[in-house]
Amino acid sequence: MQPKPTALKMLDVFSVLALAVATYLALVFAPTELVMGDVQRVFYFHIGTAWVGLLGFIIAAGSGIVYLVTKDMKWDRFEVAAVEVSIMFFLITIVLGSIWARPAWNTWWTWDPRLTTAAVTELIYIAYFMLRQGMDDPEKRARFGAVYTLLGGVSAPITFMVIRLFRSIHPVVIGAANANQEKMSMTGDMRVAFFFALFAFTVIFIDLIWHRIRLGSLEEKVEQLKLKVSM
């Protein structure tokens, strides 16, 4: 087994640092939000994870397409890595969201567009893994996986659009803010914390995907060896 590339080692260290700093900025540096108080500090991680989560799903759909065109297994590994990591982050988003929702809307959950979309999206990618689990031929697994990520990638935004038909209590900072929604006003320090959180999670995201891809190729090697053993 080839040793861990130094670049990856460095990235590991770096992402740990980034996380530490982001945590500090979120929990200590950023001022307490007036309306909601300290819970609002969840916000920085909430968005951070949500951002990389969505990013990963888009990447997955992209590499799925590339796989279908090139039929090169490495794109399949890339796709799996992206989905796996994103599913995890997105789960964190939802959990943090719920934690935040408890005081903010005094309920764990409401069926507002973004929440519902988040849930549906999560389900889509869980289904993705169940689909893959059902096949033994790796080549077929890759093909079907790619097709499904494509479908999911297209369907999720439409879902979001659709559910927008209902009224929403989920605040919107990004994109068109409807009049009826109170907009959280971010002070400069908050912005710093906010954007650094985004940055930090992006770094961690890349780091994890890298690891996952390496794992994937190692798994393949193990398979090869096992095949030799059984011969």
What does 97 bind: other proteins, ligand HEM, none (CB cut-off 5 to 8 Å by kind)?
Answer: ligand HEM
114 binds ligand HEM (CB under 6 A): yes
- Directed axis angle between helix 138-163 and helix 73-105, to 10°? 30
- Bridge-partner residues for 33, per DSSP? 37
Residue that is written with structure tokens 């979120």 in the block: 26
Q: Which two tokens stand for residue 147?
A: 């097709």
118 binds ligand HEM (CB under 6 A): yes
Backbone phi and psi for residue 33, each to the nearest 5 degrees, phi listed first = -75, 140
184 binds ligand HEM (CB under 6 A): yes
Q: Which is nearer to ligand HEM, 8 or 161 (CB)?
A: 161
**Which residues of this chain interact with other proteins, rule CB under 8 A?**
68, 98, 107-109, 111, 116, 119-120, 123-124, 126-127, 130-131, 133-140, 143-144, 146-148, 150-152, 154-155, 158-159, 161-163, 165, 220, 223-224, 226-227, 229-231
Radius of gyration of the chain (CA): 20
Residue that is written with structure tokens 């888009």 in the block: 58
56 within 8 A of 206, measured Cβ to Cβ: no
Residue that is written with structure tokens 């399949």 in the block: 76
94 binds ligand HEM (CB under 6 A): yes
Distance of closest approach, residue 164 Cβ to other proteins, in angstroms: 9
Distance of closest approach, residue 203 Cβ to ligand HEM, in angstroms: 19
What does 216 bind: other proteins, ligand HEM, none (CB cut-off 5 to 8 Å by kind)?
Answer: none
204 within 8 A of 19, measured Cβ to Cβ: yes
Q: Which two tokens stand for residue 80?
A: 């799996």
3-state secondary structure of 37: strand
CA 50 – CA 37 distance, rounded (Å)? 21
- Within 10 Å of residue 6's Cβ, how many Cβ atoms? 8
Distance of closest approach, residue 168 Cβ to other proteins, in angstroms: 14
- Cα atoms in the 13 Å half-sphere on the side-chain side of 46: 17
Distance of closest approach, residue 17 Cβ to other proteins, in angstroms: 35
CA 190 – CA 168 distance, rounded (Å)? 24
Q: Which is nearer to ligand HEM, 93 or 142 (CB)?
A: 93
What does 47 bind: other proteins, ligand HEM, none (CB cut-off 5 to 8 Å by kind)?
Answer: ligand HEM
Q: Which of 93, 149, 159, 168 binds ligand HEM (CB under 6 A)?
A: 93
Q: Segment near ligand HEM (CB under 6 A), from 7-15, 17-25, 42-50, 69-77?
A: 42-50
100 binds ligand HEM (CB under 6 A): yes
Q: Segment near ligand HEM (CB under 6 A), from 3-11, 150-158, 166-174, 190-198?
A: 166-174
